[in-house]
Amino acid sequence: MAINNARTVVFMVSGDSKAEILNQVLSQSGESFFYPSQLIKPVSGQLIVLIDKAAVRAIS
């Protein structure tokens, strides 16, 4: 996937409605990918995730 060769990939997660989805995305393990964002794994670049307080509330 070409995006994984990028120098920097940035995600912005905002709002209460994204809290549970964010928790699911971050808690998935192995080769099970339900959300496209789970396929983003920069090869040699950095992954930056900007999360507001409302979206971070469900992270366990």
Per-residue pLDDT reduced to its tens digit, 18-34? 998 898 888 876 666 78
**Surface-to-core class of residue 53, CB atoms within 10 Å of its CB (0-12 exposed, 13-18 middle, 19+ buried):** exposed
pLDDT tens digits along 2-59: 999 999 999 999 999 999 889 888 887 666 678 899 889 999 999 999 999 999 887 7
Q: Rounded to an integer, what distance in angstroms lies between the CA atom of residue 60 and that of residue 37?
A: 19
Q: Rounded to an integer, what distance in angstroms lies between the CA atom of residue 25 and that of residue 51?
A: 13
48 phi, psi to nearest 5 deg = -115, 130
Neighbours of 7 (CB within 10 A): 8
